[in-house]
Amino acid sequence: MSRATYNLAIILLSWLLMQVVHEAGHVLAGLCVGDRIERVVLHPLTISRTELSPGRNLLLTTAAGPVFGSLVPLLLWLLGHACRLPSCAWLRFFAGFCLIANGAYLGVAIVEPVGDAELLLLLGTPAWVLFAFGVVTIPAGLMLWHRLSPEFGWGTKARAITGREAASVLAVLLLVVALEMAFSPR
């Protein structure tokens, strides 16, 4: 039970935090280039979004979400790995998760452009650029996940997941959900 709770909480927490980092990329780029941020929606029951007023460089502000949302978790994992943090396995999983999610989001634009991918195409980004982003980031994310399963209690050399670990991750997940529900519009 602890392993299932732990892993489910890790996946849901990764999803919510991936959206936070992705939207932070839009916000930071918008602030840097002078685009106006109308509102940011980070609610656990919706897909996140940053609503912008057309500004000086909407293309950069739009592209910054998936790029920042892919690179920052990767840099956090590299830093955690260099510092030998005990949470390094989660940081590695999270970095892989963000690379895959952001890569898929832009990479499938050739078939079904939605959200940022649709706007990037409307702003003149060639579809092959979005596809190439996915071709690079999705395999990179899968490589980060390779041989990581024992850290999450799976496989022949699996480590035991304690009830305390599962409860801790579940508590962080519930805190993030509560904060998003309290402070973000749908």
CA–CA gap between residue 70 and residue 50 (Å, rounded): 17
The predicted model scores a pTM of 0.94
**Percentage of residues in the chain having pLDDT higher than 90:** 76
Residue spans of the domains in the chain: they are 2-183
| Alpha-carbon 3 to chain mean position | 23
User: Confidence class of residue 1 from pLDDT cuts 50, 70 and 90?
Assistant: low
Binned at pLDDT 50, 70 and 90, residue 109 comes out as confident
How far is it, in rounded angstroms, from Cα 32 to Cα 51?
A: 16
User: Which percentage of the chain shows pLDDT scores above 70?
Assistant: 99
Please write the tens of the pLDDT for every residue from 56-101. Answer: 789 999 999 999 999 999 999 999 999 998 879 999 999 999 999 9
